[in-house]
Structure 1
Amino acid sequence: MSLSVVWNNEQEQFEISDSLIALLESILQKAGEAEGINSGEVDLTFVDNERIHELNREYRGIDRPTDVLSFAMNESAEDEPEIIYELEEGETLEDVPEVLGDIIISVPRAQEQALEYGHSLERELGFLFVHGFLHLLGYDHQDEASEAEMMSKQEHVLAQVGLTR
């Protein structure tokens, strides 16, 4: 089994190309290798600013749009129902990929940030994706040291796939 991306496009402003998905899959492989994660599934959804604003308000209590949200499957809230997976006929537990979590990216926000930082949209989407992936693994950036650690890991992965500033 390997790391895989299952993606969904819920926005209409930007066409999600096969080459972009291939790039993000490559980023996922490199980030997984760096973290010692060699199997699992990441669900990625591209949304607009309105949708990410709703999700940010609902799940984080922050009433504004953001660029990326991550929801790790290994975290659970007290009142959250247990997830039960029903196996298909002939399927075994070894056939079921471990879902690491969901990453939601606002494409319009990524476009704005790419212009602001003077780099490509692909680089910005790659940055947001690896950033979200690290959050799924439990990394955070609440203080300078943890932010520096995350930034270093992100830049290392992006350099491996040629997405430098």
Structure 2
Amino acid sequence: MGCPEAELSISIVGDRTIRQINREYLGRDKATNVISFAMQEGEFGQVNPDVLGDVVVSADTAAREAEEGGEPFFSRLCFLLLHGILHITGYDHERSGEEEARRMEKREQEIFTVLKGEGLLEL
């Protein structure tokens, strides 16, 4: 992803906490699966270029999604973490249209396939 020496903060929380974060920072009063905060964006984005940002994943939502999708919990958790990291590194599926959403999904699948191939995730 082009940031081998960068710092990243990862928090795994429950639905109550991610809902609170979502409400406070994004104005959405609901739990979600992952939220990312990029530190290299905005007016002060270059203050510390080695800090990518924060990724917050809800373990509760990940568990529900894993069960609904018939996949292992750890795989779903890792996928959500990957999704959040891609957001921090410039990928966007929400505001940039369908082409960017496809580009992000393709990159997610490429990286996830490598992780599975390396035996780092349950199949």
TM-score, normalised on structure 2?
Answer: 0.85
Once the two structures are superposed, residues 33-75 of structure 1 have per-residue CA deviations (whole angstroms, 9 ceiling, x without a partner) of: xx22221111000111000001101111111000000001112
1:112 aligns with 2:64: yes
Given that residues 113 and 124 in structure 1 are in contact (C-alpha distance below 8 angstroms), is that contact kept between their aligned partners in structure 2? yes
Summarize the alignment of residues 123-138 of structure 1 with structure 2, pairs less than 5 Å apart.
Answer: 123-138=75-90
Map of 1:73 onto structure 2: 39
* Cα distance in structure 2, aligned partners of 1:108 and 1:139: 25
Output the amino acid matched with 1:157.
I
Identity of aligned residues (%): 36
Instruction: List, as ranges, runs of 4+ consecutive aligned residues in structure 1 with deviation greater than 6 Å.
Output: none
TM-score, normalised on structure 1?
Answer: 0.64
Map of 1:152 onto structure 2: 106
* Larger RCO, structure (CA 8 Å, separation 6 or more): 1
Structure 1: gaps spanning 5 or more residues = 1-34, 86-96
Bigger CA radius of gyration = 1
Structure 2: gaps spanning 5 or more residues = none
Once the two structures are superposed, residues 98-152 of structure 1 have per-residue CA deviations (whole angstroms, 9 ceiling, x without a partner) of: 1110000000100000011111111111111111001111210032211111111
Given that residues 38 and 54 in structure 2 are in contact (C-alpha distance below 8 angstroms), is that contact kept between their aligned partners in structure 1? yes
Q: CA RMSD in A?
A: 2.2
1:63 aligns with 2:15: no
For residue 124 of structure 1, give the secondary structure of its aligned residue in structure 2.
helix
For residue 103 of structure 1, give the secondary structure of its aligned residue in structure 2.
strand
For residue 108 of structure 1, give the secondary structure of its aligned residue in structure 2.
helix
For residue 24 of structure 2, give the secondary structure of its aligned residue in structure 1.
helix
* Cα distance in structure 2, aligned partners of 1:41 and 1:104: 15
